[in-house]
Structure 1
Amino acid sequence: MTGIDAVTLEKAIVHKVGNPTRGEALQLSPNTLTLNDEIVRGLLTRYFLAPFNEHDVYHFTHISDLELNDVYQYAKKIFDDPGSFQKVAAFLAQLLYQKSTHARVKEGELYVVLFDKLLVEGEEKKALGLFKSETKETFLKVFSHAGGWELAAEDGININKLDKGCLIIRENEAEGYKVLVVDTTNKQNDTQYWISEFLQVQPYTDSYHHTNQALGLCKLFIEKEYAEKFEVSKSDQIDLLNKSMDYFKSKEQFNLQEFADEVIHHPDVVDSFMDYKRHFEANRNYVIDEEFDIHLAAVKKQQKVFKSVLKLDKNFHVYIHGRRDLLERGYDETVGKKYYKLYFDEEA
C-alpha cells in the first residue's frame, strides 16, 4: 500500500485470542495502547498497512442479510461512534475467539486499530484495521554487561511479516464497505476461518478480481487437471503456462472462447478446462465472466507464481520462456536415462 507515511494511527488495543478447543483463554486488555513514541507508532503503522494490495478489494457479505454480518456491524458502530472503540474491540475479540475452533488455528494477538487520513484514490478516509499475529520468531539481543557485551534470546514479532489482516475503509457502506484482506497462514480450505468465517467477505466482481481469478484458474488447471488427465510432460505444462500468461499480457480484453481456441486448442482439453472452470467457481462462490477487461496489476501479481522452470533431478534447472518446438524430449536406452535436446542459434 502507498502513502503510509501520511496515515494517522489514532487508537489501538491488543487482545490475546486463543483456541478454545485446546483450552486456551481469551484475554481482553483493559486499556488501549499508549503510543507516545513516534518511531514505534511509525513502525506499527507500516507493519499493519504495508502488506495490503489496494487493487485487491473485498466487501462484507452475509448469506441472508448484510446487516447480520457481525464484523460489518461492529465496524459501522466504531465509525459512527469512535467513543465505543474499546468496548466494540472487545466484542470483535470475543467473536474471533468463537471462530477459532479449528485444530490448526493458532493462539495470537488481535490488534484493533483506528486509522485516519488513509489515502484512497486521492481522498483521505477513515479505516478500521483488524490484525492477528500468530507467528513468533526468536531474536538475539546484544546488551552491555560488566564492561563487555552479552547476548540474550527473545521471542517477538517480525514487523516485516503480517500473518492476518483486514483493513475496513469507510466507503461504500451500503455495499459492505471496501475491505482489504491479508492471510499468509492457514491457507488450506478447511482453515480459512479468518476470511470465510470471521470476516465473511467476498471480492468485488471487477476486472482486477476477474483477471486474478482467471489466471489462478489457468495455473491450477494446468498443474493439476491437465497433467493428470492427459499424461503430458513437465515441459508441455510449462509451455501451456507460458502461452496462458502471454495471452493475458498481450490482450486488453479476455474472451473465454478466444482463449480456448488460441491457447488450449485441443477439443478434449478445452472440454476439461470448461468443466474445471465450473468446479473452480462453485468452490470459491465466484463466477468469472466470459468477457472482461484485463487488469495489468493482477497480471503482474500472478506472473510471480507462474513458474517456467524445468527441474531435472538435482543437476539442472532449465528456464523455458517459449518456443516449445525447439525442445525435444526422449529416452536413451544405452544409458537408461531420459533426455532433453535444446535447439538454439547463439550462446549468450
Structure 2
Amino acid sequence: MVTHFDASLDAISVHHIGNQANNEMYALSKQPLGLNDEILPKLLMKYFLTPFEKSTEVYHLMHPSDLELNTVYHFATEVFDDAEKFHGASEQIAKYLYNVSNHPNIKPGELYVVLFRNVQIEGNELDVLGIFKSENKETYLKVYPDTGGFTVDYEENAININKLDKGVLIFNIEKENGYKVVVIDKNTGGQDAAVYWKDQFLQLKIRNDSFNQTNNTLSIYKNFVTQKLDDEFEMSKADKIDLLNRSMKYFKEKETFDLDEFAGEVIGNQEAIESFKTYKNNYEQEFDSPIHDTFEISGNAVKKQQRVYKSVLKLDKNFHIYIHGDNKLIEKGFDDDKAMNYYKVYFKEEQ
C-alpha cells in the first residue's frame, strides 16, 4: 500500500525522549540534522519507510471533541502549510511525546521527525510527515582488514535499521478527516505501556473503508460462531468449523458483501440469522463503528483473517482433524464400552 520509489527525504530533526515517570529528561537538537553524505539518507529511508510497505490498515488522527485539539494533527498541519516551521514543530512534537511518556515501563530513545516528499499511498504521491522512535539498541561487531589479518571491534547501543520500533506516516491528504495515517508499533514494556503510542500520543481511529469493513465483519462473525452460538444453540465443534469455512469461502468468492445474501448462504437458520444481526448491531453501538449491509470486499483483509480462522478439530493430544469441506462426511458419537467420544469420517480414497 505504501511505496517510496520516487520519495526523497527533505528534512530530519533528531531529539532524545526520556521517561518522566523515571525522572529522565528530554534533549532537543538546535537545528535539523545535516545530511551531506550520499549513503546516510538512503539508509535512513530504508529504516523509516520499508516497514510500511506491507501496511494495509489506514487510520485517521482524531480527538473526541475537536480535531484541532489533537496535538500531532496541529503540528502536522503547521508543517504542511509552511515547511519553514518544520524544526520548531518537531521540538513541540518531542515535548508532547515526553509528556505522555509517563508509564515507568516506556523505554527512552531517540525521536526522529522527518519530512518526506513523494511517498505514495493508494495511488497518490504526497508530502508526508514521519515520526519515529528507536527504543531498542544492539551491539554490532566490526571487522577491519589489518596487516597480515583482521581486527575485530564492536559498537554498543547501536540501532538496527531493519527493526523499526515505533513509527507513523502522516500523509497530506484528507485533512478534514484527520489525514491518512499508517502506523508501526512494536510493543515493548508490557500492555500498560503499549497504548501510549497509538492511543495517547497519536490518538488514532481506524478508517472505516472496505478493509476495515471486511476485517470487522469476519472478526465479528468468528466471535459469534465461537462464543455466542453456544448460548442459544447446541452445536458441535465440527459444525462450528463448517460455519467458519463457509463464511471464508463466501468472502473469497464474492467481490461484494451483502448481509442478507451472506446470512442466507452461510448461516441458513433464521433464528441464528437474527441472532447474528443483533450481535453485529451490539458491536456497532459498543465500538461506535458502523458496518454497512453491503460493501466491497477487501482481499487483503480476507488474507489477514484467514490466518486466525481455524479449521482444525483438536482431539485430546492424539489427533488433529482438518475440516475443509462437507461436514456431513463427519459424524460424532459416544462409545459406551470405552466411555469416550469418537468421530466417524467418510472418504472415497486416500491421497
| CA distance in 2: counterparts of 1:245 and 1:292, whole angstroms | 16
- CA distance in structure 2 between the aligned counterparts of 1:94 and 1:109, rounded to whole angstroms: 13
Task: Identify the residue that residue 281 of structure 1 maps to in structure 2.
Answer: 284
Task: Give the Å deviation of 1:169.
Answer: 0.9
Q: Matches of 1:15 and 1:314 in 2, distance apart?
A: 53
Residue number among 243, 246, 250 corresponding to 2:246 in the alignment: 243
Cα distance in 1, alignment partners of residues 140 and 234 from structure 2: 50
CA distance change for structure 1 residues 335 and 201 in 2, over 3 Å: closer, same or farther? same
Counterparts of 2:41 and 2:231, CA distance in 1:
51
Q: Determine helix, strand or coil for the equivalent of 2:305.
A: helix
Bigger Cα displacement from structure 2, 290-299 vs 233-242:
233-242
Change (3 A) 1:4 1:103: same
| 1:81, distance to aligned residue in structure 2 (A) | 1.9
Matched residue, 1:201: 204
The structure 1 segments of at least 4 consecutive aligned residues displaced by more than 6 Å after TM superposition are none
- Among 166, 169, 194, the alignment partner of 1:167 is 169
% identity of equivalent residues: 46
Distance 1:185 1:93 in 2: 19
Note the 1:218-237 alignment, pairs <5 A.
218-226=221-229, 232-237=235-240
Say whether the 8 Å CA contact 1:4–1:46 is kept in structure 2. no
The CA deviation at 1:272 is 4.0
Q: Secondary structure at the match of 1:115?
A: strand
1:176 to 162, 171, 178: 178
SS at match of 1:94: helix
Relative to structure 1, the CA distance from residue 96 to residue 234 in structure 2 (aligned partners, 3 Å threshold; closer, same or farther) is farther
**How far off its partner does 1:43 sit?**
3.4
1:307 aligns with 2:316: no
Structure 1 window deviating more from structure 2 (140-149 vs 243-252): it is: 140-149
Match of 1:212 among 211, 215, 224: 215
Q: Deviations over 1:228-258 (max 9, x none)?
A: 7657544333322222211212222222233
Instruction: Output the amino acid matched with 1:111.
Output: Y
Change (3 A) 1:295 1:32: same
Q: 1:213, 1:254 → 2: CA distance?
A: 12
Q: Distance in 2 between matches of 1:162 and 1:267?
A: 49
Q: Which amino acid aligns with 2:171?
A: I
The CA distance in 2 between the partners of 1:51 and 1:227, in whole Å, is: 41
Residues 1:58 and 2:66 aligned together:
no
Structure 2 gaps of 5+ residues are: none
Q: CA shift at 1:286, angstroms?
A: 1.4
Please state how far the C-alpha of 1:329 moved relative to its aligned partner.
Answer: 3.4
**Bigger CA drift: 63-72 or 299-308?**
299-308
Query: 1:37 deviation in Å?
Result: 4.4
Q: Deviations over 1:241-293 (max 9, x none)?
A: 22221121222222223323332334554444334323433443311112222
Q: Identify if the C-alpha distance between structure 1 residues 151 and 316 changes in structure 2 by more than 3 Å, giving closer, same or farther.
A: farther
- Letter of the 2:6 partner, please give it: A
Alignment correspondent of 1:95: 96
Match of 2:264 in 1: 261
Q: Is the 8 A contact 2:2 2:121 kept in 1?
A: no
Aligned to 2:118: 117
User: Does the Cα contact within 8 Å between 1:227 and 1:237 map onto a contact in 2?
Assistant: no
Normalised by the size of structure 1, how large is the TM-score? 0.83
Q: Deviations over 1:191-244 (max 9, x none)?
A: 533333322232333323211221222233334434676575443333222222
Contact 2:15 2:111 in 1 (8 A): yes
Find the residue that maps to 2:51 and give its secondary structure.
coil
The within-5 A match list for 1:266-345 is: 266-332=269-335, 334-335=337-338, 337-345=340-348
1:217 partner letter: I
How many residues were matched structurally?
A: 347
Contact 1:47 1:159 in 2 (8 A): yes
TM-score (norm 2): 0.82
Q: 1:92, CA displacement in angstroms?
A: 0.9
Contact 1:102-1:191 within 8 A present in 2 as well: no
Distance in 2 of aligned mates of 1:278 and 1:346:
45
**Structure 2 contact 142–152 (Cα < 8 Å) conserved:** yes
What is the SS of the residue equivalent to 1:26? coil
